[in-house]
Every structure is written in C-alpha cells, then in structure tokens.
Homo-oligomer: A and B are copies of this chain.
Amino acid sequence: MTTESKIQVAVIMGSKSDWDTMKNASEILREFGVPHECRVISAHRTPELLAEFIKNAEKRGLEVIIAGAGGAAHLAGVAAAHTILPVLGVPMESKLQGLDSLLSTVQMPAGIPVGTLAIGSAGARNAALFAIAILARQQPGLQEKLKAFRQEQKQKIMKETLPC
C-alpha cells in the first residue's frame, strides 16, 4: 500500500439523514482519487466518540476533517476543538432553511476556526474541493486534477446555449 492510499480526509455528519447531502463530498473526493472515510458521529449523542475519533484522526495522519450538521450544528466546532487539523463545516438545510446551521457553524470564537462552506449540497461539494485544495499543496497530482476540473467546468459553461 502506498502513502497515497492512506485515508486523508474524514467526512463526518451528525445524523444518517445528512448523508443525502454529504455524499456529494464523498463523490468529489472519489472523483479526485482522495482516500477518505465517512462516519455518522454526533456532537450531542456521541460526544466521547467524537473526541476520540478526531484525536485518532490526527494521530492516524489524516489531513482534513469535513463535518456536516444541521440545526444547532455543533459538530464542526467541537471537532475543531479536538484537533489542529483544518476542519471544514457544511451547514445542512433545516427548518430555518439552514440559517441556524450556518450561524452555528461559522460564528466560532477567536481561537478555534472552522472553514465554513455553503448551505446544503453545494457546500458539501465545495468542502471536498477545498479539502483537495489543501491536499494539493503537497500533492502536485491533485493540483493538476484541480486545474483540469476548473477547465472542464469552464468549458461546460462556455458551451451552454439558451433559446433566447
């Protein structure tokens, strides 16, 4: 097994119902060939598991944590409290359309940052792309893939036609 195949990113979420959104992160990571794992871990229902998982993640050599949660979304913030790894937060859509999830995730106090992405599936995709941008600092191969991805999405837009 090469170093590259070691798990590099953990995608965690507060509830299994978040998977529908968070699978978008997993799909992007798979598309870029980034070894990752996905887990349901709740800041409220499994607090010890969260602490343990995050501390182990750092020890196991993971590079980035992606955490998706909704409502009083504490998952990303509490994960960040347990590690110096970069933690990315994805606010779930919720009863208040994700405004509660967004504010609970992004308004962290000075000292413990969470890099927050957009509400919902766009945020999940972007969390994966942001994680890849971090990993790409050390993996030139990912830089090339990112550039190709950007180029491709540019081409796709440039080919769009409208029945104006």
- Chain A interface residues toward B at CB < 8 A: 11, 14-16, 19, 23-24, 26, 36-49, 51, 63, 70-74, 77-78, 80-82, 84-86, 88, 93-100, 102-122, 125-127, 129-130, 133-134, 136-138, 143, 146-147, 150, 153-154, 157-158, 160, 162-164
A49: nearest residue on chain B (CB-CB)? Answer: B158
A51: nearest residue on chain B (CB-CB)? Answer: B47
A82 to B50, CA, bound (A): 12
Q: Decide if A122 touches B109 in the complex (CB within 8 Å).
A: yes
A102: nearest residue on chain B (CB-CB)? Answer: B106
Among A43, A106, A109, A150, residue most surrounded by chain B Cβ atoms (within 10 Å): A109
How distant is A87 from chain B, measured CB to nearest CB, in Å? 8
- Take A44-B81, A136-B84 as given contacts and tell me if A106 and B117 are in contact as well, using a CB distance cutoff of 8 Å: yes
Assembly stoichiometry (copies)? 8
How distant is A126 from chain B, measured CB to nearest CB, in Å? 3
Q: Decide if B45 touches A162 in the complex (CB within 8 Å).
A: no
Q: Decide if B146 touches A119 in the complex (CB within 8 Å).
A: no
- Take A51-B48, A108-B72, A126-B110 as given contacts and tell me if A96 and B95 are in contact as well, using a CB distance cutoff of 8 Å: no
Q: Decide if A95 touches B94 in the complex (CB within 8 Å).
A: no
Q: Decide if A71 touches B109 in the complex (CB within 8 Å).
A: yes
A138: nearest residue on chain B (CB-CB)? Answer: B138
